[in-house]
Amino acid sequence: MIVVVGLGNPLRGDEGVAVRIVQELEPAFGNRPDVRLLDIGTSGMRLLDALAGADRAVIVDCARMGEEPGTIMRFRADDVTSRRQEESITPHSGDLLRLIDLARRLGACPEETVLFGIEPVSLDYREGLTALIEERLPLYVQRIADEIDRPAT
């Protein structure tokens, strides 16, 4: 089974892009028994439950990567490192990579875990995505749909 996890806060502009992607994937993948779509918002510890029992994981999040706004990038979890300086993991922790590492140590992380980061335009407090991210939403949804349908490695 593949789990697709959307992280983010729709009240912070483009921070809500992954939540929207998961919603947009629902008509095509919501009834497939081999796919689980989850919007876990900003509750980092929920990621541990989301990953448990999955064969593959696709995690989507807004991410400051130093790229042009609107850029989407695919990473394997082993290929990136965190720049955050958090000392501990809390129920609302925002350090995705530390949470994945914890899931691995607990034996709850799929061997194949892929991350998609989307460079935001704005993280201001506002509902809705910026025009650029909204315009590119179909591209992001297609990239994640292609990942879901890609054969496992």
Q: What is residue 84's predicted lDDT score, i.e. its pLDDT?
A: 47
What six digits make up the tokens of 5?
A: 């996890």
On the 0-12 / 13-18 / 19+ scale of CB atoms within 10 A, 92 is: exposed
Residue 75: name the closest of 48, 114, 41, 45 by CA: 114
Residue 112, beta-bridge partner list = 56
Q: Are 118 and 18 in contact (CB under 8 A)?
A: yes
What six digits make up the tokens of 50?
A: 């989301």
- pTM score, whole prediction: 0.88
Domains (ranges, CATH) in the chain?
2-149 (3.40.50.1450)
How far apart are alpha carbons 10 and 78 in whole angstroms? 28
How far apart are alpha carbons 15 and 20 in whole angstroms? 10
Per-residue pLDDT reduced to its tens digit, 29-81: 999 999 999 998 877 778 888 898 999 999 999 999 999 999 999 998 777 65
Helix (H, G, I), strand (E, B) or coil at 20: helix
Say if residue 88's pLDDT is above 70.
no
Q: What is residue 105's predicted lDDT score, i.e. its pLDDT?
A: 84
Q: Which residue has the tokens 């502009």?
A: 13
Per-residue pLDDT reduced to its tens digit, 89-147: 444 345 788 888 888 888 788 989 999 999 999 999 999 999 999 999 999 999 999 99
Which residue type is seen at 143?
R
Q: What is residue 57's predicted lDDT score, i.e. its pLDDT?
A: 95
Say if residue 17's pLDDT is above 80.
yes
